[in-house]
Structure 1
Amino acid sequence: MTPLPATPTGGDTLPADEPLRVTLVSEGTYPFAMGGVSVWCDQLMRGLPDHRFEFIALTVDGHDRPLWEAPANLERVRSLALWTPERAPRGRPHPATQRAVSDLAAQLVRPPPDDSQAAATGVAAFLDALHRTAVAARTRGTTAGLFTDDPAVQALTSHWCEATGAGMTLRDALDWGGLLEHLLRPLQERPVEADVVHAAMNGPSMLVGMAAHWEHGTPVVLSEHGIYLRERYLLEDDQPFSRAVRFLRLNFFRLLAAASYQVAAAIAPHSRYNRRWQLRCGADPDRMHTMYNGVCLDDFPVAASEPDVPTVCFLGRIDPVKDVRTLIKAFAAVQRTLPQALLRIFGAAPAGQEDYLEGCRALAEELGMGHAVTFEGPTRQPFDAYHSGSVVALSSISEGFPYSIVEAMACGRPVVCTNVGGVAEAVGDGGLVVPPQDPEALGRALVRVLQDDDLRAQMGRVARLRVRDQFTVDRWTGAYGDLYAQVTGRAGSSAPALDAELREEVLVQ
């Protein structure tokens, strides 16, 4: 099969007065979870009321209940379950299917090359094999059995031995094959019919866009809040797999991320930090448009007063990426100086992270702070959470351009955050930024802000003005409307040009 072109093109020009049909895709977020990506999805659809949206939600088992009220222009929500069991079809697979599976395995066993040309060649070969695997999955009606039948296991173990000089156990081959069959589940679905597919993140979400692009030539827009590949590397140590399976997982996500950048007609990083990661992974700078998240100032009124005692507030998911454990450890340092201080943690644990939440509760008790650290659960009015604190903290190990920080700043609250993703770009002089996974540094910064009334007030004023001038929702939703017009070839479009300053930055690097 001929490899896909490096630079995808949009479809035929659309009449300017025809509403665009957009399929928005995300994994583990809207409409079944709260959090920044879900907020962004809701804002995007409401901010483009003349566009018609379909939403495809990649979920665990498809049994989730919606937590969001659908906007008027959201016509359909489809849940695509990745982890439900399916039965493999009987009979030996077609020779073309065996070749596709074998070729995909050949790319997955190879370590990342140092040479950029070799890396590009590997991504092209992976993308070609993935395309043929998608054809096989649709023909069979399922990905089940594609990578766990005898020919697939034999192909994987053979390629592994050739690449590493070592054998692979049957258990590892079956474990990896089973994982891959679930990760590729979107490829067994009928490709969506839309004017544009917009993936809210990289990874399996982009498979929906790839399938539509291969079948219909549909242009794909890719947004990244946090860098999907980076988060896989950060969290891989927590996965209960052997070294061989972990290597294959990370290699799959590396190749899929790079392939996604090749397929996407437009790539919309949410910070310069994300942009640099994407460029290093092979993204084309001419297809990149940096899009900072924004908020509606009317939804986040300035706090009129402060709590009676020094209070640190956190609002977000309770999971390892947010590194709430580091925040709790940092608060122990705060209490040594300010024993009357409180830490209020707003948010819920996503599915699968309930043990992490309980571990955070246990850590607070273990450090003797059960009376001072409260877990408030989710809130429907985020500004109430921000108003409840003297300072808002974020201790994440990975971020894109976090809503919680921009929302807190809109409320006139100073922030203390870890320096990940686009956090420093958001904060400016509206708070302090410290290294990630350093509880002592985070604790010292929190104490500094809590003890200095003038500094707190000054940072709060600067924070509000910074959001007003740079990070409003109207600014970014309008930019996405222009981007859709560009990639679809809509008549009369005025697509956003690549930021000149960022272009200069790329050329210098």
Structure 2
Amino acid sequence: MKVTLVSEGTYPFAMGGVSVWMDQLIRGMPDYRWDVVTMTVDGKERPVWERPANLEQVISVPLWGRTRRRSSKPPGPGFSDAYGRFLEMVLTPAVMGDGGAEFLAVLEQIYRFAAEGGDLIGALTANESLSQLMDAWYWNRTDGLTLADAIVAGNLMGHMLRPLSEPPPRTDLMHVAMNGLSMLMAMTAKWRYGTPIVLSEHGVYLRERYLQYVNEPVSHAVRVLLLSFFRRLAGAAYVAADRIAPHSTYNRRWQVHNGADPARIRVMYNGVDPADFPVATSEPSQPTIVFMGRVDPLKDLHTLIRAFDIVRDKVPGARLRIFGGVPKGNESYQESCLDLIDELGLEGSAVLEGRVATQVDAYHAGQVVALTSISEGFPYTVVEAMACGRPCVVTNVGGVAEAVGDTGFVVPPRDHAAAADAMVRLLHDAELRRRLGALARQRVLSRFTLRQSLDDYRAVYRELVGARA
């Protein structure tokens, strides 16, 4: 069997939970052949993962690199009809989950235009299309849209729809790591070859786009257009997918709310190899809280740092060690974390350590592992820490509470006082730490092993490919 994994901004060009999961699948099924298609920024990214022997090719689809337009001619009535319906659906308020099949059909019309040599960016920024956009906005909205907004929106939309212009891969099955733009590539393979699709969602893609665009440097009108597009795309993706494999029941509820057919959904948890995460046999001499993960606004390290400010007052000599790299583009967020540490007078006791040789070293470096994210799927870092026998303090987002169960403390997101209270309780009570750590390890062994995860995916792959045959 040949499986093609599709993602946006991850493996093999970036670290993180999605990349770990993709590498696990490829290496864990050496009898399968694999391709990887990754949506990248400009195609200049370099791999940071060692390539497995059964990974045959990596295809980069640069969304934001420059493109040479093939034609300056008007896009024609076929495209204009499809684009008109596209705008009507994007700009019309709708109940979440409605219209997924219809929007999928509109996307297929746009794909046919691109497959026949049409230039999407050129078409979306042509005078005719700009006029269509402004007219549609006028009839469906009460606020204003300027010509400049229309040009910006058309250009951004052209780049986001670029996967529709790429040749569909020939493969037995498309497995998409996340909703959104990655699904466009899977849709083209289904339209062209009838290829079945598995859609996994580690986080809630649509929710994260809303969080992202709060601070995006675009006008309100452009923000409305793009978020409405993502909402419609999410619904169409759920219709296109033959199997939807969320990593938590939290994600499953979100998907059903957005129009996914419950009969197509199967929750499939991430897993780890317990042998790779041995139980810690000792604790550091100083009371230490550890964070392991990328430095990213979604991880909400500001809340963690503010919680630690309270912890330090109640637990003399406490330390906060933040392990993890800084993805490109997140340098300003890293600076904001350092500024907050300085503002609160935590220099020396709260430290951004950067990348660590192995995750195990990070988990063993503290008595307590903390994750104060505002959005998650089913994070590996929590399951890995649990496998090491460390109790966790986490926020109640995504599938985090499902992972931790009764082996740690779950607090509301952005509530630094609640997080601090949980951390202080664990740091003060060695017997509680020992008991919860043992329960955490046992929970991983019974529910979240890599072998269980791989067996689940093999079953789904065989089911879909067998049905197609």
Instruction: Give the superposition deviation at 1:132.
Output: 0.8
**Contact in 2 for aligned 1:323/1:396 (Cα 8 Å):** yes
Match of 1:78 in 2: 59
> 1:91-240 counterparts in 2 under 5 A?
91-113=73-95, 120=98, 122-140=99-117, 142-240=119-217
Structure with larger RCO (C-alpha < 8 A, sep 6+): 1
Number of residue pairs the alignment of both structures matches? 468
Name stretches of at least 5 consecutive residues in structure 1 with no aligned partner: 1-19, 494-509
Match of 1:58 in 2: 39
Instruction: Give the superposition deviation at 1:98.
Output: 1.8
| CA distance 1:412–1:166, shift in 2 (3 Å) | closer
* Aligned counterparts of 1:180 and 1:421: Cα–Cα separation in 2: 28
Match of 1:397 in 2: 374
* Aligned counterparts of 2:431 and 2:111: Cα–Cα separation in 1: 60
Q: Does 1:334 align with 2:316?
A: no
* Aligned counterparts of 2:182 and 2:341: Cα–Cα separation in 1: 36
Match of 1:316 in 2: 293
**Contact in 2 for aligned 1:87/1:144 (Cα 8 Å):** no
> 1:328-407 counterparts in 2 under 5 A?
328-407=305-384
| Residue deviations 1:468-492 (CA, integer Å, cap 9, x gap) | 111000001111011011111269x
**Contact in 2 for aligned 1:142/1:185 (Cα 8 Å):** no
**Contact in 2 for aligned 1:386/1:411 (Cα 8 Å):** yes
* Aligned counterparts of 1:467 and 1:389: Cα–Cα separation in 2: 19
Other structure's SS at 1:339 match:
coil
| Residue deviations 1:456-478 (CA, integer Å, cap 9, x gap) | 11111000011011100000111
Match of 1:428 in 2: 405
**Contact in 1 for aligned 2:133/2:150 (Cα 8 Å):** yes
Name stretches of at least 5 consecutive residues in structure 2 with no aligned partner: none
Q: Which amino acid aligns with 2:43?
A: G
**Contact in 2 for aligned 1:319/1:353 (Cα 8 Å):** yes
Other structure's SS at 1:140 match:
coil
* Aligned counterparts of 2:330 and 2:264: Cα–Cα separation in 1: 36
Which deviates further from its counterpart, 135-144 or 230-239?
A: 135-144
Which deviates further from its counterpart, 81-90 or 137-146?
A: 137-146
* Aligned counterparts of 2:193 and 2:36: Cα–Cα separation in 1: 18
- Among 441, 447, 454, which residue is 1:470 paired with? 447
* Aligned counterparts of 1:457 and 1:124: Cα–Cα separation in 2: 52
* Aligned counterparts of 2:425 and 2:381: Cα–Cα separation in 1: 21
| Residue deviations 1:349-398 (CA, integer Å, cap 9, x gap) | 21211111111111111111111111111224110000001100001111
> 1:476-491 counterparts in 2 under 5 A?
476-489=453-466
**Contact in 2 for aligned 1:334/1:443 (Cα 8 Å):** yes
Match of 1:87 in 2: 68
Q: Does 1:290 align with 2:272?
A: no
* Aligned counterparts of 2:286 and 2:187: Cα–Cα separation in 1: 53
* Aligned counterparts of 1:94 and 1:380: Cα–Cα separation in 2: 56
Instruction: Give the superposition deviation at 1:152.
Output: 0.8
Which deviates further from its counterpart, 371-380 or 472-481?
A: 371-380
Instruction: Give the superposition deviation at 1:301.
Output: 0.7
**Contact in 1 for aligned 2:121/2:154 (Cα 8 Å):** no
* TM-score for both structures, normalised by structure 2: 0.97
| Residue deviations 1:22-68 (CA, integer Å, cap 9, x gap) | 11001111111111111100011111111110001111111111111
Q: After the TM superposition, which parts of structure 1 deviate over 3 Å for at least 4 consecutive aligned residues?
A: none
| Residue deviations 1:214-239 (CA, integer Å, cap 9, x gap) | 11111000000001011112222111
* TM-score for both structures, normalised by structure 1: 0.90
Instruction: Give the superposition deviation at 1:141.
Output: 5.5
* Aligned counterparts of 2:286 and 2:356: Cα–Cα separation in 1: 21
> 1:231-250 counterparts in 2 under 5 A?
231-250=208-227
Match of 1:281 in 2: 258
**Contact in 2 for aligned 1:47/1:478 (Cα 8 Å):** no
* Aligned counterparts of 1:443 and 1:53: Cα–Cα separation in 2: 45
* Aligned counterparts of 1:90 and 1:126: Cα–Cα separation in 2: 27
Other structure's SS at 1:398 match:
coil
Other structure's SS at 1:101 match:
helix
Which deviates further from its counterpart, 240-249 or 415-424?
A: 240-249
* Aligned counterparts of 2:316 and 2:161: Cα–Cα separation in 1: 51
**Contact in 1 for aligned 2:163/2:185 (Cα 8 Å):** yes
Q: Which amino acid aligns with 1:410?
A: A
* Aligned counterparts of 1:141 and 1:408: Cα–Cα separation in 2: 50
Q: Which amino acid aligns with 2:90?
A: L
**Contact in 2 for aligned 1:327/1:439 (Cα 8 Å):** yes
Instruction: Give the superposition deviation at 1:212.
Output: 0.3
Instruction: Give the superposition deviation at 1:79.
Output: 1.1
**Contact in 2 for aligned 1:391/1:449 (Cα 8 Å):** yes
**Identity in percent:** 52
* Aligned counterparts of 2:436 and 2:402: Cα–Cα separation in 1: 15
* Aligned counterparts of 1:312 and 1:471: Cα–Cα separation in 2: 24
Instruction: Give the superposition deviation at 1:139.
Output: 2.3
- Among 228, 236, 239, which residue is 1:259 paired with? 236
**Contact in 2 for aligned 1:153/1:174 (Cα 8 Å):** yes
* Aligned counterparts of 2:13 and 2:154: Cα–Cα separation in 1: 28
| Residue deviations 1:269-326 (CA, integer Å, cap 9, x gap) | 1000000000000101111110011000110011111011010100111111111111
**Contact in 2 for aligned 1:157/1:167 (Cα 8 Å):** no
**Contact in 1 for aligned 2:100/2:259 (Cα 8 Å):** no
